[in-house]
Amino acid sequence: MVARALAGEEPARRSLVEMHREAVFRLVRAQTADVDAALDLTQETFIAAFVNLHRYDVGRPFRAWVMRIALNKCRDWHRRRLVRRFFWQAKPIDDALSIADEQAGPDIEASARQELDEVRRTIERLPDKLRTVLLLRTVEELSQAEVAGLLGVSEKAVETRLYRARAKLLEMLRAASPGRV
C-alpha cells in the first residue's frame, strides 16, 4: 500500500488514511483533550506523513510511523499552547467574564463531565514520558511491545513508565479531591 502511495496513487493514500485515521485521532484527542485541535492535528499528521513518505522505513509498521508523527505534532501543539497561554494571561480578561457556559445540563451529567475533565487535565499534567505510555497502552490499547517499538525503548521501560503513570495519576487525583478517589 505504501509503495503504491509513493508511486502517487491517490486511492492508496486514501486507503492508508482510512486504515489509520481513527487510531491517530484517538491518540491525538487523548493527548490534547480538545476535539477541534485533535481534528486539526490528525489532518496535519497525515499531511506530514505523505510529504515525508519517501523517508518511511518499509521494515517498520506504517501505523507505528504515523503514530510517532502524531505524537510529535501533539508535542508541538502543547508547546504552542503554553506560549499562547502566557500571552493570553498577560491581557485583561474582562470580556471573558461575560461569556455564558454552553455546557449547562442536568446535574448528574455536569458532575460526570466535571470529573472526566478533571481526569483529562490531570493526565495532561503527567510528565510527557508517562502520559504517552499511559495513553498508548490504555486508550490505543497497543501492546507493550508495540509501545516499546513506537517509542524506541525496552518493554521493561514501558512497563515501568505505565506503572509510574498510573501511580502518579492516582496520587494527583487523590490530592485534588481527597476522599473521592
For residue 127, give the 3-state DSSP assignment: coil
Q: What is the mean pLDDT of residues 87-97?
A: 56
148: CATH:
1.10.10.10
Rounded distance, CA 124 to CA 113, Å? 16
Do 92 and 107 lie in a common domain?
no
Do 64 and 7 lie in a common domain?
yes
**What digits encode the pLDDT tens for the residues 166-177?**
899 888 888 877
Do 114 and 147 lie in a common domain?
yes
Do 83 and 148 lie in a common domain?
no
Residue-number span of the structural domain to which 86 is assigned? 1-99
CB atoms inside a 10 Å sphere around CB 181: 14
Do 35 and 106 lie in a common domain?
no
Rounded distance, CA 59 to CA 65, Å? 11
The larger pLDDT score, comparing residue 43 to residue 119, is at: 43
Rounded distance, CA 69 to CA 51, Å? 12
Do 65 and 109 lie in a common domain?
no
- pLDDT above 90 coverage of the chain, percent: 29
- pLDDT above 70 coverage of the chain, percent: 82
**What digits encode the pLDDT tens for the residues 114-148?**
777 788 888 888 898 998 998 888 888 888 898 89
∠ CA 10-14-18, nearest 5°, is 170
CA 59 to chain CA centroid, Å, is: 25
Structural domains in the chain (count) = 2
∠ CA 80-94-121, nearest 5°, is 40
